[in-house]
């Protein structure tokens, strides 16, 4: 573990690559943070949100990160920058060890972090696996993630309308729902991955919304 300084961060629900950052994003200046080197196994778990880290690790990173915000220095209670020596990501955590937000880094900052990690020893992370956690890894573009987010928001707005949800379930799965969890199944499957069917499904949702407002 080592301290690192002067990095640009862009904390979000997803770990958007630097080239996907947008002007509307809340880009912040990290004055000081802590870099931890972990095994490939743990690193992949951190990327996919499939673990909750334990109290020992939380204490290790507690109050070791500060950012410059509105010309003032602010602490981030639980944040660490993690690397496997080949890739690097910044994560913030709740007091319970759940991953809250993620950030990638500029190309220059990433190269410097990876260089700094070469002399680090692997650190052990205490954690608990949560296998039913939805993955949140950036293997799809930001634009496509935004499409999924819009779909989920539209579905939330009509989640109590069984007739509409059952209709959308049929359109999505090409079969009638045989359970009482149509909404949950629909949201879960839409969240799993991305393909072009998401865009057409959003168009269908928008069409339903337009009809409701006529």
The pLDDT tens digits for 28-79 are: 999 999 999 999 999 999 988 889 999 999 999 999 999 998 889 999 999 9
> Which of 129, 164, 194 marks a domain boundary?
129
> Are residues 123 and 160 located together in one domain of the fold?
no
- Interatomic CA distance for residues 189 and 172, integer angstroms: 9
> Are residues 31 and 84 located together in one domain of the fold?
yes
> Are residues 13 and 92 located together in one domain of the fold?
yes
> Are residues 25 and 118 located together in one domain of the fold?
yes
Dihedral angle computed from the Cα positions of residues 113, 146, 67 and 55, in that order, rounded to the nearest 10 degrees:
-80
Q: Does residue 134 belong to any structural domain of this protein?
A: no
For a pLDDT cut of 70, what percent of the chain falls above it?
88
Higher pLDDT, 147 or 51: 51
Which domain covers residue 16, as residue numbers?
A: 2-129
Among candidates 126, 121, 114, which has minimal Cα distance to 52?
126
Please, are residues 13 and 102 in contact by the beta-carbon 8 Å criterion?
Answer: yes
Structure tokens at 88: 């690097």
> Are residues 105 and 204 located together in one domain of the fold?
no
> In this predicted structure, what is the pLDDT of residue 210?
45
Pair type for strands 88-93 and 2-9: unpaired
Q: Does residue 199 belong to any structural domain of this protein?
A: yes
> Are residues 57 and 146 located together in one domain of the fold?
no
> Are residues 122 and 21 located together in one domain of the fold?
yes
Report pLDDT digits (tens) over 180-210.
888 998 888 887 755 666 667 777 777 776 4
Quote the number of domains for the chain: 2
Q: What pTM, to 2 d.p., does this model score?
A: 0.68
Higher pLDDT, 126 or 149: 126
């Amino acid at each position: 573990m080592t301290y690192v300084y002067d990095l640009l961060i862009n904390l979000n629900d997803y770990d958007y690559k630097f080239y996907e950052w947008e002007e509307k994003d809340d880009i912040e200046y990290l004055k000081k943070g802590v870099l931890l080197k972990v095994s490939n196994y743990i690193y992949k778990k951190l990327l996919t949100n499939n673990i909750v880290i334990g109290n020992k690790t939380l204490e290790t990173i507690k109050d070791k990160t500060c950012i410059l915000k509105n010309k003032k220095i602010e602490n981030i209670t639980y944040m660490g920058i993690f690397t496997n020596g080949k890739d690097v990501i910044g994560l913030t955590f709740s007091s319970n060890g759940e991953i809250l937000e993620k950030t990638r880094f500029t190309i220059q900052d990433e190269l410097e972090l990876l260089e700094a990690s070469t002399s680090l020893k692997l650190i052990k992370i205490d954690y608990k696996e949560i296998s039913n956690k939805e993955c949140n890894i950036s293997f799809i573009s930001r634009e496509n993630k935004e499409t999924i987010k819009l779909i989920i928001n539209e579905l939330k707005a009509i989640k109590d309308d069984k007739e509409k949800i059952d209709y959308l379930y049929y359109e999505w799965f090409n079969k009638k729902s045989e359970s009482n969890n149509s909404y949950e199944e629909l949201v879960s499957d839409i969240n799993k991955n991305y393909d072009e069917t998401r865009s057409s499904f959003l168009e269908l949702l928008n069409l339903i919304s337009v009809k409701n407002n006529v």
